[in-house]
Amino acid sequence: MKVTLLAISVVCLACMGCTADPKSAAGFTLPDGDVQRGQDTFAQLQCYACHSVTDIEFDAVETSEEIVKLGGKTTRVRTYGDLVTSIINPSHRFAVGYADEAIKVDGQSKMRLYNNEMTVQQLIDLVAFLQSQYTVEQYQPTPYIPYY
Ligand code: HEC
């Protein structure tokens, strides 16, 4: 009997552990942002110093930084979680398709941190703006010619 109870509590504790990870993104939802305000914020914070966004024109900047493209065709939906993380925790995961030395210094993203100056509303609007710039295209398998 004691052994059964012990077994049950171990199983219960283990299950609670899997659903109660304090670092889980479960339950994370942003309110709707404003795409136009997001674009204005992007310009105001001069994100374009290191980024291009589809074919939107921003002021020209003289920079020696690698220009990382945002928006455009993608096969993977950019969720709120992806974009918020890229903006406030840039070294968590790195943009794909760039040489390490172009986007990292000492293993950290070259992206500037805005956490002490960006408002939450600006973050929400930036995410809405960036999401509106990605077009999700389904992966197209190579057409298969049946062989008889
Ligand atoms: C000093 C240059 C610099 C500035 C300024 C900058 N970024 Fe970045 N950003 C980068 C670099 C380099 C990367 C690629 C490395 C990485 O993923 O962190 C990046 C990555 C990103 C990504 C992820 C792209 C992907 O495909 O995974 C997003 C989204 C992004 N930046 C948004 C912003 C926004 C919004 C701003 C303005 C608030 C901004 N960045 C300002 C340099 C910059």
Instruction: Identify the pLDDT of residue 4.
Output: 62
- Is any atom of ligand 1 closer than 6 Å to the C-beta of 41? no
- Please tell me the residue having the least CA distance from ligand 1 atom 11: 111
- Is any atom of ligand 1 closer than 6 Å to the C-beta of 53? no
- Is any atom of ligand 1 closer than 6 Å to the C-beta of 94? yes
Of the candidates 139, 37, 55, 42, the one whose C-alpha atom is nearest the C-alpha of residue 83 is 42
The ranges assigned to domains in the chain are 32-136
Find the mean pLDDT for residues 21-37. Answer: 93
- Is any atom of ligand 1 closer than 6 Å to the C-beta of 127? no
Model-level pTM? 0.85
Q: Inform me whether the pLDDT recorded for 14 exceeds 70.
A: no
CATH class (in words) of the domain with range 32-136: mainly alpha
Q: 38: CA distance to ligand 1 center in Å?
A: 15
Instruction: Identify the pLDDT of residue 114.
Output: 98
CA distance 37 to 72: 20
pLDDT tens digit string along 48-100?
999 999 989 998 888 888 999 999 999 888 999 999 999 999 999 999 999 99
Instruction: Identify the pLDDT of residue 6.
Output: 59
- Strand intervals (E) in the chain: 51-53, 68-70, 72-74, 104-105, 108-109, 134-136
